Chains A and B, each alone.
Chain A
Amino acid sequence: MGSVTSELPAGRTPLADAAETGLKIVIVGGFGVGKTTLVRSVSEIRPLNTEEVMTQAGVGVDETSGVAGKTTTTVAFDFGRISLNERMVLYLFGAPGQERFWFLWDRLFSGTLGAVVLVDTRRMDDSWYAIDRLEHHGTPFVVAVNRFDDDSAGHSLDEIRQALALPPHVPLIECDARVRRSGKDVLITLVDHLYDLAMARETTP
């Protein structure tokens, strides 16, 4: 590995030469909820940052109707990566959940396996819009509650499910985004859920 790495620009770790299938999972949530922390804790590379610049005219955001001319918005997002085996590599994208960024969703994240909605119980309002959009879009998701140390209210998962009006079939779990094992469990919960959905589809005539 050492000789290969030294030929590359500092810090870059190459994929296996047999890598052929890129997969996507999106971590979505409000400001400061722990998206980057979660990506970092499970990623094999330091999270990288990139941006897309969108011209909002013609993107189909009906809320902006009536506005003449174009507005340009730059949306930055970070990502990490997990090599699942020699052929498959999973990319994790941390995406802002605020309403004004969602015109990007179709464009950047089509073809995602599914999503994790990261929730901070001190600011649960930030999660409603993301959950609503994912349901509307038909993207399967799980909800992970990132417990911060000063979360004094200590809501139970049942209370949180009620507050978010989450249907019973959507998995809801707790996590600590700083801990690798915990981040990994969140991803496994999501993919387990996706697997169940796929099996149900495939066995329904």
Chain B
Amino acid sequence: MTPRRPVDTGDPDRLYTVTGGRSRADDAFDLVTLVVRESEPSAGMQSEHVRILEMCRHPTAVVEIAAELRLPITVVRILLGDLLAMGRITARHPRAAESVASLPDSALLKEVLHGLRNL
């Protein structure tokens, strides 16, 4: 496990507003974890939470959420941690990302090759 690191966006006001001053991100969210919403946004929710739920009607990768919201990855991880705790989203984590050492098996790679050849 990589240790949790503080966020520093270089823009403290915006970070404070978006994250409520928290600075610890949920490292369980990989760049390519696919996020799907479990319910629609409701009144009174924070605008970033609303936007994430709108995007995640269909599975959406963490990195695409960050690009769309124009927020650093770490800030998005914090927001996703909130939504997960509220039961608003589910996360489909990548198989291979548990550790750097876990290399992909041949069956998975065969599927990848097949997909690339069919492009």
Q: Which residues of A contact B (CB under 8 A)?
A: 7, 9, 12, 14-17, 19-24, 42, 48-53, 55, 58-59, 70, 72, 74, 79, 81-85, 88-91, 93, 106-111, 113, 137-140, 184, 187-188, 191-192, 194-195, 197-199, 201-202
Instruction: Determine if B19 is an interface residue (Cβ-Cβ < 8 Å).
Output: no
Instruction: Determine if B92 is an interface residue (Cβ-Cβ < 8 Å).
Output: yes
Give the contacting residue for B100; candidates A88, A106, A191, A198; CB below 8 A: A106
Question: Can you list 17 residue pairs at the A/B interface with Cβ under 8 Å?
Answer: A14-B58, A15-B60, A19-B58, A22-B32, A50-B63, A53-B7, A53-B9, A55-B8, A74-B72, A84-B115, A88-B115, A89-B32, A91-B31, A106-B2, A111-B97, A194-B104, A202-B106
Bound complex: CA of A140 vs CA of B116, how far in Å?
Answer: 18
Task: Tell me whether B97 and A198 are in contact (CB under 8 A).
Answer: no
Return the chain B residue nearest A201 by Cβ: B103
Instruction: Determine if B113 is an interface residue (Cβ-Cβ < 8 Å).
Output: yes
Instruction: Determine if B34 is an interface residue (Cβ-Cβ < 8 Å).
Output: yes
Task: Tell me whether B64 and A84 are in contact (CB under 8 A).
Answer: no
Give the contacting residue for A14; candidates B57, B66, B72, B73; CB below 8 A: B57
Residues in A neighbouring B115, C-beta threshold 8 A:
82-85, 88, 90
Bound complex: CA of A147 vs CA of B87, how far in Å?
Answer: 50
Bound complex: CA of A38 vs CA of B117, how far in Å?
Answer: 17
Return the chain B residue nearest A87 by Cβ: B111
Pick the 3 closest A-B CB pairs, nearest first.
A84-B115, A22-B32, A111-B97
Bound complex: CA of A17 vs CA of B8, how far in Å?
Answer: 34
Instruction: Determine if B85 is an interface residue (Cβ-Cβ < 8 Å).
Output: no
Task: Tell me whether B67 and A48 are in contact (CB under 8 A).
Answer: yes
Interface centre among A58, A109, A191 (most CB of B within 10 A): A191
Task: Tell me whether A191 and B32 are in contact (CB under 8 A).
Answer: no
Task: Tell me whether A49 and B67 are in contact (CB under 8 A).
Answer: yes
Known A14-B58, A52-B73, A111-B98; judge A23-B112 contact (CB<8 A): yes
Q: Closest CB-CB distance, B117 to chain A, in whole Å?
A: 7
Instruction: Determine if B22 is an interface residue (Cβ-Cβ < 8 Å).
Output: no
